[in-house]
Chain A
Amino acid sequence: ESVLTQSPGILSLSPGERATLYCRASQSVSSSHLAWYQQKPGQAPRFLIYGASSRATGIPDRFSGSGSGTDFTLTISRLEPEDFAVYYCQQYGSSPPTFGGGTKVEIK
C-alpha cells in the first residue's frame, strides 16, 4: 500500500498570499494518478485536481498541481477567503487507493 505524507500539517497564511502544499508518496505513483481534494467543515470533499496537474471542471485557475513520481505539490496562487480549508492528496494508481493525512490552511 502506498503511504502518502502531506506537509505541512497546518499552514497559516493571510488572504492574498501564496500557499504551497506538499504530498510525498512511499512508492512512485503510477501514471501521475494523483488527485487533490478540498474539504470544509461539515462538507464532503470537493474534487480539485487529477492527473497531478489537471484542474477539475469549474476549479479556478489559482489552483495548480505539479509533480511526478513520489513528490507532488498543490499551489494556490492567491488565497481567497473561501480557500481556507483542509486539503487532501490521493493516489489512485495502485490498489488500494490511499489518501494523505491532510494539510489545514488556516487564516493567520
Chain B
Amino acid sequence: QVQLQQWGAGLLKPSETLSLTCVVYGGSFSGYYWSWIRQPPGKGLEWIGEINRSGSANYNPSLKSRVTISVDTSKNYFFLSLSSVTAADTAVYYCAYGSPLNYWGQGNLVIVSS
C-alpha cells in the first residue's frame, strides 16, 4: 500500500521561500513521477511540477522561474521549494505519486502573510 506523508512550514512572510518535504512509503517507484499540486482556499487544483527517480523534473511554466523540485532516492523523499512567495501562493500544497495521480499526501496549508 503506497502512502505519502508530507510536512513543512505553514506560515511564511512575503519574499520568503516555501519548503515542503514528502516521503513515499510502499510500492515500486520505477517509471513513475512524483508531483506537487496546490489548491488555493475555495479554488481548484493547480499542477506545480514533477520529478522522477533519475532527477528529471518538469515544471508548470507559470511557476517555473520560482520552483525547484528535487529528490533523495535513498530515502524516497522528494522536495518542493518555491521562492519569493506572495499572498497569491497561499494554498494547500499536496504531494502526489504516479501518472495520473494515483496517491496523494494529506496536504499542507501554507499561508503567506506579513
Contacts and interface: CB of A to CB of B under 8 A. Distances in A.
B104 A44 contact: yes
Interface residues of chain B: helix, strand, loop or mixed (majority): loop
Interface string A4-43: 0000000000000000000000000000010101000000
B101 interface: yes
Interface stretch (B13-21, B44-52, B70-78, B80-88): B44-52
B94 interface: yes
B60 A47 contact: no
Given A44-B94, A90-B100, A96 B61 contact: yes
B29 interface: no
Interface of A: 1, 33, 35, 37, 44-47, 50, 56, 88, 90, 92, 95-102
